[in-house]
Amino acid sequence: MKANFFKYLTILLVLVLVGSPANSQDKNKGDEKVQDDMKVLQGDWICIMEELGGRPYTKEKVKEMNKRMNIDKNSMIVKRVIDGKLGTYEGKFELDPTTKPKKFDFTGTSPSGAKSEWKGIYELTENEFKIIYVQKGLRPKEFKGGGGIYVQYKRDKD
C-alpha cells in the first residue's frame, strides 16, 4: 500500500514539475496562435477608420491624419499627423490570441516622448486589423459600446 502511495506521489510530483502533457500541448497551441498572428501582422498598414469614445472621425479627418502603422517582429511604429505635425508612437507589443476576444498590449512612447501603454482587444485577417484599446482603465471586452479608441487598418500594398 505504501509503495503505491509513493509511486503515485512521485508521478504527481513529476507532472507538476514538468507540466502535464495537456498543459504542454495547450501552451504549444497558444504559442502557435501567437506566431500565426504575428506572421500575418508583419508589414505596413494604413488606417481606414477611427473612433474615439464611440464617435467616428470623418473620412476627411482620417485621410488628413494619414495614420500608418509598421510592424516588425514585436516592434510597432504608428505615425500620424496631429495638429499639422507628424507624431510617432513607438514601442513593443504582445498578443494573446488564445483569449476571446484576443488581447493586445502595447508599451512604448507617445509623440511627446512620454510613456504610453495600451490595453486592448483585436481582430485580424490577412488584410485587415481591428483594434480597440484604452490608455487608462479596464481593457475593452467587445468592439461595441463606444469605450476606448477603435482603429481599423488595412494592409498597405503600395
Confidence (pLDDT) at 63: 95
Confidence (pLDDT) at 68: 97
Which CATH number is 72's domain given?
2.40.128.20
69: its cell numbers: 502603422
Confidence (pLDDT) at 16: 41
Q: Which helix (H) or strand (E) element contains residue 38? A: helix 21-41
Half-sphere exposure of 148 (CA within 13 A, CB side): 24
Q: What's the number of domains the chain is made of?
A: 1
Residue 83: inside a domain, yes or no? yes
Phi, psi of 84, rounded to the nearest 5 degrees: 80, 0
Residue 80: inside a domain, yes or no? yes
Q: Which domain holds residue 146?
A: 43-155
Predicted TM-score (pTM) of the model is 0.80
Residue 26: inside a domain, yes or no? no
State how far the Cα of 47 lies from the Cα of 152, in Å rounded to an integer.
Answer: 6
Task: Pick out the chain residues at pLDDT < 70.
Answer: 1-30
State the amino acid at position 26 in one-letter form. Answer: D
Confidence (pLDDT) at 147: 81
Residue 123: inside a domain, yes or no? yes
